[in-house]
Amino acid sequence: MCSVFGIVGNNKIDLPLFEKSARLMNHRGPDYFGIWKSENNRLALSSSRLALNDLSEHGHQPMTDHSNKLKIVFNGEIYNFKVLKKELLKKGAKFKNNTDTEVILEGYKFWGMSDLLKKMRGMFAFGLLDEENNQFILARDIHGMKPLFYNIKNNQLIFSSEIKSIISYTNERKLDYNSAQSVFLTTSIAPLNKTLFNHIHKLNLGEMLTINLSNFSISRERYSLLKNFIDKNEYYKNEN
């Protein structure tokens, strides 16, 4: 199952509280718990791992590429990662383990995130730090199989596989009575990007969120939409 937890932004991170909050999800990944932090204590990533591919320490997360400029925490499974790995090897990519996680790192370098996400088949939620281009990317699979929650406040992003870790770090518990709760009680369907908490959101299924860490500008991209796969008239009839 695994878990991801991380904080990126312009504010100093309380590292003991960060670890405490991250470890609340240890039940999701009992095989290994890892933390990476930047020298200025403004960026931190963590993962609790349930090992599936490459059970050795080479599969531990947070994971870096050969240049040590890309770092990722990943929850999920990429079903076609062996096919993608063969394509990347032909392009000159180098691998040091047999995980699908490393395929994301190398695929990002050779194809860019938008094209990579369109090639990937699986269920996933991950955060990727690109230190060379000073940006951070969150992404979630097209079906929303893997959870990914986030909070953005005061030029700081906190993301997590479970809401309780965000609450633990922020100590904010205000409920959003007029949003997710009212919709859910009326329709029995939870809104795609909302939760019961006022300050916590879900990343949409098939969505990529990119943060420019220089100025903390945020861009969003829906790399996959249902209407791209079915008859447009049928899609809009159902949407209405």
Catalytic positions, please?
2
Give the Cα-Cα-Cα angle 70, 73, 123 (nearest 5 degrees): 120
Give the Cα-Cα-Cα angle 71, 139, 52 (nearest 5 degrees): 65
Tell me how far CA of residue 140 lies from CA of 28, 90, 137, 201, in angstroms. Answer: 18, 27, 10, 13
Q: How far is 79 from 173, CA to CA, in rounded Å?
A: 37
For 175, residues 6+ apart whose C-beta sits below 8 A from its C-beta are 181, 196, 197, 198
